[in-house]
Structure 1
Amino acid sequence: MNLSRPFIERPVATTLLTMGLALAGLVAYFLLPVAPLPSVDMPVIFVQASMAGASPETMSTSVATPLERHLGTIAGVNEMTSSSSTGSTRIVLQFDMKRDIDGAARDVQAAIVAARADLPTALRSNPTYRKMNPADQPVMILALTSDTLTPGQIYDAASTILSQKLSQVSGIGQVQVSGSSLPAVRVDLNPRALFKYGIGLETVRAALSAANANAPKGALEVGPKRYQVYVNDQARTANDFKTLIVAYRNGAAVRLQDVANVSDGVEDIRNLGMANGKPAVLVILTRQPGANIIETVDNVKKVLPVLQASLPPAVHVDVANDRTLSIRASVTDVQITMGIAVLLVMVVVYLFLRNGRATIIPSVAVPLSILGTFGVMYIAGFTIDILSLMALTVATGFVVDDAIVVLENVTRHIEGGMPRLQAALVGTGEVGFTVLSMSMSLIAVFIPILLYGGPIGKLFQEFAVVLAASVLISMVISLTTTAMLCGHLDLKHGEGKQGWLLNASERFFEAMRSVYTRSLGWALNNPRVFVFCFFATLGLTIFLFGKMPTSLMPAEDTGQIQGNIRADQSISFQLMQGKFQSFVQIIAKDPAVQSVVGFTGGGGGPRGGGTNSASVFIQLKPINDRGGLSTDDVVDRLRKKLTGIAGARISLMGARNFRTGGRSSDSFYQYAMLGESIEDLDKWVPKIVDALSALPEFEDVNSDRQDAGLEVQLSIDRQAAARLGISTTQITSTLYDAFGQRQVSTIYEDMNQYHVVMGVAPEFWQSPETLKDIYVSKAGGAVSGSQATAAVASTVTAPAGSTAAGTTADASADSRRNQQLNALVSTVSGSASTASALSTSKETMVPLSAFTSYGPGLTPLSIGHQGPFVATTISFNLAKGKTLGDAVAAINKTMADLHVPQSIHGEFGGNARLFQQNTGNMGILILTAIIAVYIILGVLYESLIHPITIISTLPSAGLGALIALLVARKFNDAIDLNIISEIGLILLIGIVKKNAIMMVDFALDAERRRGLTPREAIYEACLLRFRPIMMTTFAAILGALPLAFGFGTGAELRQPLGIAIVGGLMVSQLLTLYTTPVIYLYMDRFRLWAGRRWNRFYARLLGDPIQDAAE
């Protein structure tokens, strides 16, 4: 049965169907989204809780632990980590890939509600959650600057306008505004002035708290009209608060400006953002897990002009960091690479066929196969990404194989004098089964990959489906469109004289064939030599596979660098600010840097924060503008420049498109240390960090354990405090008033709410010695009774047109007003002495030193958990020329050498964990692929023997790939055995056996139809199939050659695949032309011997007397 007959006989229908396929694929191409890699994001949810002023220990025990207890019961959680710092707890939940993130989010919300009863009452609001991965790189960073506005005003615009609108953009998971904080009225109190007037901190706080009232006032109705009651009860600026009366002394008003410096500032002064050396507010955008990064960034860019128009004109918005620039460039370069591969394949076909008309036929098959594959990608929900385009680039080298096999066989009959139509029918009938065998066995290679799980399986699966679809479509096209064109196009050589290039190619081919004819005869006469070569190749392949340096993924050159600065844990913000600026200035001067932004201080948020840490984001110039230097080269250069800043260090790592796990760390790879107590970790983690730092495999080794922050430990003499009538609550409240940047009042505006922040002046919180200037008032400062009345009175009784904080009348007028009010209160209550509006006598002020003592101490700045264990994450980068396999082995050896106790155990996280989990799986995957190919070939040939002959070509391909990778590593130490090069090894299983199929299929047909002996049949098959074998092999090599050369953005990701394929094809082509026919003969002898043995066994089993007599 000839499947091609109806298509050959109906050229119009075949042409129309072909055009329909091409049109559908073209439409699908423009509808496909673009991405860096297939979506392999694990569902991750970030939970955050805040309790102002709480220590890391308090947050860990009272907030993190109960939340973890409830969150840990959610189905599908495979990793839960937390970090607790001052006033903040951050928990990251990572789920199985099969878990729906929306369903997981509902479960997280339910767990938070269930945990609320176990959380402290001081936690004013429920913990919040977001569908985002805090370890993910930002997709975009906006830098907001102004020549006239303050950072607080810029932050206000960013937080009020930009943050809300950008959060609504599809794909955005988190909008973090950094570099400053919201505007606030700052009240910097002078403790000495307060003591002079006998006013406690609590009294000032009470007055400030009562100075703003935003409550319903009601309405008046006068006849037909209604009047809303309005009171100027809002103080909004520092000037409004300066004249606020906090007390009376000797009949005169004591105003806020008498005891404090009141200014318009920001809520948190320990915060700084910079963009290219200028103060800036940064808007950091992170995508949701699974969101398409390019679509997300494009959506943001669409709304930016509208948002810019809604900001104050003085605010300038610049895109300081765009992660999609390198992705777009890389995708474009892969498309160019694919185009070059198609042209090279066409050149090979033309040089071998030496016929322009014949070359048109496979030239049509290649774009048709690619366009058809776009249609399959659209239906499957895939993206145009680096891996899918790599698959199509490689496919150009062997989707043409089927067309070449059909075309070459039909051309052979035409050159023998057969009419075109008859030659097409006969030729396609002869090779139809060969084409089917080649394609189906190649598709069989990908069956195990489709069943592979996890992020690696997700990467493999899209690559495999794209390749399988292109092979399947090329098979259909070769048996339909190619067959039809062969029957209706004149494929005879023209009579004109051929050019020198075609003549040279013909002479070269004939010379190769002549050499092969003579050497093949010698090989068949000396089969043991090539049997030895086969087993030597197999052994060497296994040996090299075990010795190859290994890693997870090649490090792409994204043109972006992330830096994490860490200083001494006891550093002040003022000193940290200077060091941060020094780092930024040095980075900005590097000629390869296009922009650098960063921030320090703050706290909370998905990226944490603190006075001793800072983050920088570096955008490099395009690779051609930086002298061809890779991102890793620039990182090495910057490391050397940045080592001179004393007291701080910076960890630099190139941004990656493939990153798993939910841990945030200073370096790219993580190794978590888990223990039952903080003390054990504090003892062993520094030893491990020091040991790893001394090894040549590592750079930027550090730990997130911060246990050496300085603290002032106040010890209360409770008996002395009790005798003085002072409670512990009063003491802690006073300390918080003085040093906690306490938000004591709310200012209500139309678009946002702002706060009044109270504390002592900076000169009183810069040394522990200033504690002697802090006094506790025995009055307690509660806002109640007459004092509250007085505080409000100082606002409400102001005449119309005055400020809300008081009047500008002189002190005597205030005193008269107060006396009048006291008289009124006395009339109502019957006692002026018990209802004084404002205290007119000094409060009893007791210095802290009277009942406390203090001394220095150490305190942890953060506490981490992983599951039920206390955890510390050691992070590291790889030294130049070292692989992840080297690092994993070094860590395991270090842990064994240090004899770390069993109470502490370590486990890899993120990409390192994924690498460790998949170590050894590739060998199983390759073996499974070989078994799948064997089964398919056995079914197709109805034989257990001949599939062994065909797959005997595989060791030579593996050897060639490994040798090519080792040679390439001599010139580029980034080349190793990773996911991409392993994909090449699996592909070789499907590619190289095509040559053996063409030989074996023709030889079996010659034995059956013409009665040739196995030696005659395989000898003739090798010679007749020599041209298509050489054509398909050269086409595959040249199709992968542009990948192997590795030019353009993102070439690091593509190069290992091309090198593995080119090396494997070259070696396998050289060896299998001889080993395949030799093994074919040995397998045929084995088949006959096994048949005889089976017949004897069967006869004895049945008790056949004739067979027994014959023996």
Structure 2
Amino acid sequence: MNLSAPFIARPVATTLLTIGLALAGLVAFFKLPVSPLPKVDFPTILVTANLPGASPETVATSVTTPLERRLGAIAGVSEITSTSSVSNSRIILQFDLSRDIDGAARDVQAAINAARVDLPVSLRSNPQYRKINPADAPVVVIALTSDTLGQGRLYDAASNILQQKLSQVGGVGQVVVSGSSLPAVRVELNPTALSKYGIGMESVRAALAAANANSPKGAIEVGDRRYQIYSNDQATVAEQYRSLIIAWRNGAPVRLSDVAEVINSVEDIRNEGQANGKRSVLVIIYKQPNANIIETVDEIRALLPELQAAMPNDVDLQVVSDRTTTIRAALKEVGSALVIGVILVVLVTFAFLRSVRAGFVASVSVPVSLIATFGGMYLLGFSINNLSLMAMTIAAGFVVDDAIIVLENISRHIEEGMSRVAAALQGAREVGFTVVSMSLSLIAVFIPILLMGGIVGRLFREFAVTLTVAILISMVVSLTTTPMMCAYVLRRHGDGGGERKPGLFFRLSERAFDLLQKGYGRSLSLVLRHPLITILVFLVTVLLNIHLYATIPKGFFPQQDTGRIVGGIRADQSISFQAMRRKFRQFMEIVRADPAVESVAGFTGGFQTNSGFLFATLKPLKERDASADQVIARLRPKLAQVPGASLFMAPVQDIRVGGRQSNALYQYTLRADSLPDLYAWTPKIVEALRHDSSVITDIDTDQQQGGLQVNVTIDRDSASRLGISTSAISATLYDAFGQRQVSTIYNALNQYHVVMEVAPQWWQNPEGLKDIYVSTSGGAVSGTQSSSGISTSAPAAATSASTNASGNAAAAAAAAASQAIANQRTNQIAVGGRSSASTGQAVSTAPEKLVPLSALTTYQFDTTPLAVNHQSMFVASTISFNLAPGKTLSDAVTYINDTMREIGVPSTLHGSFQGTAGAFQQSLSNQLILVLAALAAVYIVLGIL
């Protein structure tokens, strides 16, 4: 059976089919997504929960652990890690690669619902979850700066305008705003003034909570008209809150401004963002897993003029990091290498065939096969990336082989005197099976890669399949288009069909080929005359390769220079935010001053005040004198001069495995049978690893047990004797020092908060605890308790009048009514929502009985963890590190294992590599098996054929 015969007999149809195949690939090329690496979906879900004001240990025990118990029971969870910090719980679930992420998300939602009964009632909202890809880095970072507007206004504009608009761009997966927080009205209480008026902090909180209402009021209908009722039941700015009456004393109102400083500020003042030396708010944009990164960034940039026009005046938008700059350059470079490879293949083919017509026939298969491969990639859901383009580059050398085999055999028959069509039919029939067997044997090499599991298998599967598709298309083209072209394009040498007689080039090349052929013949004869020596050389070569395989250092992926550097700041665990902000600015200036750095942006604050993060964008390679690793190396000595803090920097990599965040690329996690062993040995191991910086650098650990705390000890007997509960003391402390959100301000775009705490001079000094007072009534004075928690006892005059004789009843009623009307007029902010505004009673009039906190408590300084980390639901510590120049991951693994043995780590302590280092170790376990399987597959296919 001759598969080529129908195509030789129908040259027009074959030509059109070939053109159609190429056009389909060309159309697919422009539709394929572009990314640095193949799409690898790590089924990962992030669960977050907020318990404002709670310590890391409280968050870990009351929020994280109950959630972990429920989430850990979900099928297919391969890794569960968590970090509990101040007010925040962060749990990352990584599932098996075969697990459907949507089904896993439904299971996570069910687990969160089941865990709700175990969570504290003070949790403001249900834990939230979302799907993430830990391998994704931000594609774009936009900085908002202004010379006149405050950080709160910038954050508000970023949250209300940029975040919403950018989230609607095709391909955008997540938009994060950092560097500040939403605008807020901050009430900074004066504890001394409160005690003077006999007002408890809980009463102030309750008054503020009742000061805003966003509830329906109904309507009035007059004849054929309807009037909607509206009232000024909201206060939106600080000025409107200052006149709020919070109590009556001796017939005079006590306004909020009498006991507090009320200012327009932000929800969390412990936040800082910077970009290129200016205070800024950062908008960090991530892409969806299957998005075309270049198209996504192009759409974002096209939207920027519209977004700039929507910003308030004097707000400047600047792109400080664009991930696609180096991706475009890398893909262009690989694409250029592919084109050069194709040209070289064609030139070599022409040079060896020494015939324009024959070279043309053989060369057609290369572009047709490669272009048509893009169509197969599109149908398989692949992308244009470095690995797929590398597969195409390698395929350029493979795809021409089949065509040359067919061409040579047909040419031989033509030279022997057969007609072109007959020679094409005969030659294609003779070598058709050879072409098929050769193509299948090449494909067999990639079968083990196709069956490879884990992350490495997912990454290289697209490489192997792309190469396989190219080889298969080349086989089809060689058995259809190539013999058809041979039948109608080739000419016998010397015929008058347009071929010229051999020229100088032909004669010179013929001599060179004769010499090459004779040399090969002599070497072949020598080998055949000494078979034992030949076999011995073969065995030595095999043994040498085995030795090299065992001794050559191994790595996971080569270190990339993507033109982007990320940095994590770790300061002393007891550092204040004010000091942290100074160090953050120092680091930013040092990095910015490097001549290779084009821009730098970063932020600090939030849940961990001793940490920060920065993004540095390097100049293009042509404009800088150093690689990313070299830039980091020369910055290290300068960064080390900043006392009390460290900045760990690493180049952004296209592949990152694992969900735990760290300040370096690679991770080693420690767990112990007892917590004291873990906490005692982790610093020792870190110190031992730092002795030799020639293998690993930037060594850090997420174990932070050295934070400072003020331990307030309650005298429960004294508190009980005075009628004060521990919850009342805790609530008062939260009111004073917790940046407590006590009321909500509504507007058309967003919701804002009223934040209450004591003035800075009290929260910046532990001695301020002595000026805090607790109400013996828990925050409400005697009298009728309103639904809002504010006492509604009658004013003193009215209460006194109501106890007089019945003859004075009318006067008492009149006095009460007059006082009620005065209250309503004086209090500029109506009490709505849950309060009893209809009574006319604004606030209480009787002084509360206040007890100094110092009479009920004592305090002492102690240490506390800044974060509690779990691995597989057990407390763990993770050591992160980067590789020293010239070292590989296998060197680091050996060094860490040797160090652990040398310092005598007890058997109760267990260590394991996580993330990228863990994936590397896993890949080593089956690497040899894959090599042997590839060899076996080739021989099996050849044996069958």
TM over 0.5: yes
1:678 aligns with 2:675: yes
1:845 paired with 2:836, answer no
3-state SS in 1 of match to 2:213: coil
* Residue in structure 1 matched with residue 895 of structure 2 by the alignment: 890
One-letter identity of the residue aligned with 2:530: N
1:667 shift after superposition: 0.8
Following superposition, the deviation at residue 441 of structure 1 comes to 0.9
Cα distance in 2 for residues equivalent to 1:824 and 1:463: 81
Q: How does 1:307-326 map to 2 (within 5 A)?
A: 307-326=307-326
The question of whether the paired residues in 2 share the 8 Å contact of 1:551 and 1:884 is answered with: yes
CA spacing shift, 1:839–1:432, aligned 2, 3 Å: closer
899-908 vs 734-743, which deviates more? 899-908
Corresponding residue of 1:567: 571
- Matched position secondary structure for 1:566: strand
Q: Distance in 1 between matches of 2:822 and 2:622?
A: 83
Residues 500-515 of structure 1: pairs in structure 2 closer than 5 A: 504-515=508-519
Comparing 219-228 and 468-477, the one that deviates more? 219-228
Aligned equivalents of 1:446 and 1:661: distance in 2? 27
- Indicate yes or no: 2:738 matched with 1:734: no
Aligned match for 2:918, one of 913, 916, 931: 913
Equivalent position to 1:614, from 609, 612, 615: 612
1:132 corresponds to: 132
Which moved further from structure 2: 718-727 or 328-337?
Answer: 718-727
Q: 1:625 aligns with which of 606, 623, 626?
A: 623
Distance change >3 Å, CA 511–CA 340, structure 1 → 2: same
Which whole-Å deviations, capped at 9, do the CAs of 1:493-537 have from their partners, x for residues lacking one? Answer: 777587766655444333222222233223222222222211111
CA separation in 2, counterparts of 1:934 and 1:444? 9
**Partner residue in 2 for 1:637:** 634
DSSP-derived class of the 1:268 partner: coil
**Structure 1 counterpart of 2:873:** 868
TM-score, normalised to structure 1, is 0.78
Are the aligned partners of 1:388 and 1:466 in contact in 2 as well (CA < 8 Å)? yes
Alpha carbons 1:56, 1:86 under 8 Å: kept: yes
Match of 1:341 in 2: 341
TM-score normalised according to structure 2 size: 0.91
Aligned partners of 2:783 and 2:791 also within 8 Å: no
Greater percentage in helix: 1
**Pair 1:597-2:566 in alignment:** no
Aligned to 2:829: none
1:523 aligns with 2:521: no
Distance 2:325 2:713 in 1: 57
Shift of the 451–837 alpha-carbon distance from structure 1 to 2, 3 Å rule, reads closer
Q: Which residue of 660, 663, 667 corresponds with 1:663?
A: 660
Deviation sequence 1:900-932 (CA, Å, 0-9, x none): 333331221111111111114221111111111
Q: How many angstroms apart in 2 are the aligned matches of 1:201 and 1:13?
A: 89
**Letter of the structure 2 residue corresponding to residue 360 of structure 1:** F
Cα distance 1:837–1:651, how it changes in 2: closer, same or farther (>3 A)?
Answer: closer
1:516 to 1:775, Cα distance in 2 relative to 1, 3 A: same
Q: CA deviation at 1:419?
A: 4.2
TM alignment of 1:51-450, pairs within 5 A: 51-133=51-133, 136-301=136-301, 303-450=303-450
Which residue of structure 1 aligns with residue 836 of structure 2?
none
Q: 1:317 to 1:163 in 2, by over 3 A?
A: same
SS in 2 for 1:141: strand
Distance 2:472 2:578 in 1: 66
CA contact (8 A) 1:41 1:660 kept: no
**Alignment partner of 2:746 out of 742, 748, 755:** 748
Rounded to whole Å, the distance in 2 between the matches of 1:621 and 1:823 is 70
Distance 1:791-1:110 versus aligned 2 partners, 3 A rule:
closer
- Give the equivalent residue in structure 2 for 1:975: none
Contact 2:134 2:656 in 1 (8 A): no
Equivalent of residue 699 in structure 2, options 698, 701, 724: 701
Task: Using the TM superposition, give the Cα deviation of residue 550 of structure 1 relative to its aligned residue in structure 2, in angstroms.
Answer: 0.2
Is 2:856 the partner of 1:858? no
Give the Cα–Cα distance (whole angstroms) in 1 for the partners of residues 840 and 235 of structure 2: 26
For the pair 1:690 / 2:694, whether they are aligned, the reply is: no
Amino acid at match of 1:542: I
Measure the CA separation in 2 of the matches of 1:597 and 1:505: 61
SS at match of 2:650: strand
Q: Secondary structure at the match of 2:314?
A: coil
Q: Is the 8 A contact 2:4 2:480 kept in 1?
A: yes
- Residues 349 and 823 of structure 1: is their aligned pair in 2 closer, same or farther, counting only changes over 3 Å? closer
Instruction: Work out the CA distance in 1 between the residues paired with 2:193 and 2:647.
Output: 44
User: Who is 2:828 aligned against?
Assistant: none
The answer as to whether partners of 2:206 and 2:788 remain within 8 angstroms in 1 is no
Aligned to 1:587, the other structure's residue is in SS state helix
Equivalent residues in 2 for 1:434-473, closer than 5 Å: 434-473=434-473
Equivalence map 1:34-45=2 (5 Å): 34-45=34-45
How much does 1:743 deviate?
A: 1.3
Contact 1:131 1:173 in 2 (8 A): no
Following the alignment from structure 1 to structure 2, what is the Cα–Cα distance between the partners of residues 86 and 638? Answer: 31
Matches within 5 A, 1:875-1024: 875-940=880-945
Contact 1:211 1:792 in 2 (8 A): no
**Matches of 2:214 and 2:223 in 1, distance apart?**
28
Aligned residue identity for 1:938: G
Q: Assess, with a 3 A threshold, how the Cα gap between structure 1 residues 542 and 789 changes in structure 2: closer, same or farther.
A: closer
CA RMSD in angstroms comes to 2.6
1:779 shift after superposition: 4.2
Deviation at 1:35, TM superposition (A): 1.7
Q: Secondary structure at the match of 1:235?
A: coil
Matches within 5 A, 1:717-728: 717-728=715-726
Please tell me whether the aligned partners of residues 152 and 182 of structure 1 are also in contact (alpha carbons under 8 angstroms): yes
Cα drift, residue 790 of structure 1: 12
Write out per-residue CA displacement over residues 305-363 of structure 1, whole angstroms, 9 at most, x where no aligned residue.
Answer: 44444332433222222222222221121111100001111111122122222211111
**Which residue identity lines up with residue 733 of structure 2 in the other structure?**
L
State the 1:204 CA deviation.
2.3
Unaligned runs of 5+ in 2: 793-813, 824-838
**Is the 8 Å Cα contact of residues 134 and 664 (structure 1) preserved in structure 2?**
no
Cα distance in 2, alignment partners of residues 886 and 790 from structure 1 = 65
Consecutive unaligned residues in structure 1, runs of 5 or more: 604-609, 795-815, 826-833, 941-1111
Distance of 1:920 and 1:69 partners within structure 2: 31
| 1:281, distance to aligned residue in structure 2 (A) | 0.8
Whole-angstrom distance in 2 between the partners of 1:572 and 1:440: 66
Distance (whole Å) between structure 2 residues aligned to residue 125 and residue 877 of structure 1 = 39
Shift of 1:218: 2.7
One-letter identity of the residue aligned with 1:195: S
The residue type equivalent to 2:484 in the other structure is M
Give the Cα–Cα distance (whole angstroms) in 2 for the partners of residues 274 and 471 of structure 1: 52
Question: How many residues were matched structurally?
Answer: 904
**SS state at 1:131 partner:** strand
Report the Cα offset of residue 245 of structure 1.
2.3
Moved more, 524-533 or 248-257: 248-257
Task: Report how far residue 615 of structure 1 moved.
Answer: 0.3
Shift of 1:846: 2.3
Name which of 524, 538, 544 aligns with 1:540.
544
Select the residue among 803, 808, 818 that pairs with 1:820: 818
Once the two structures are TM-superposed, the CA of residue 583 in structure 1 deviates from its matched residue by 0.7
Q: C-alpha separation between the residues in 1 aligned to 2:787 and 2:943? A: 96
Q: Distance in 2 between matches of 1:147 and 1:698?
A: 43
- Asked whether the 8 Å contact 1:670–1:873 carries over to 2, the reply is yes
Amino acid at match of 1:454: G
The aligned residue for residue 832 of structure 2 is none
For 1:658 and 1:15, the matched residues in 2 are separated by 43
1:777 corresponds to = 775
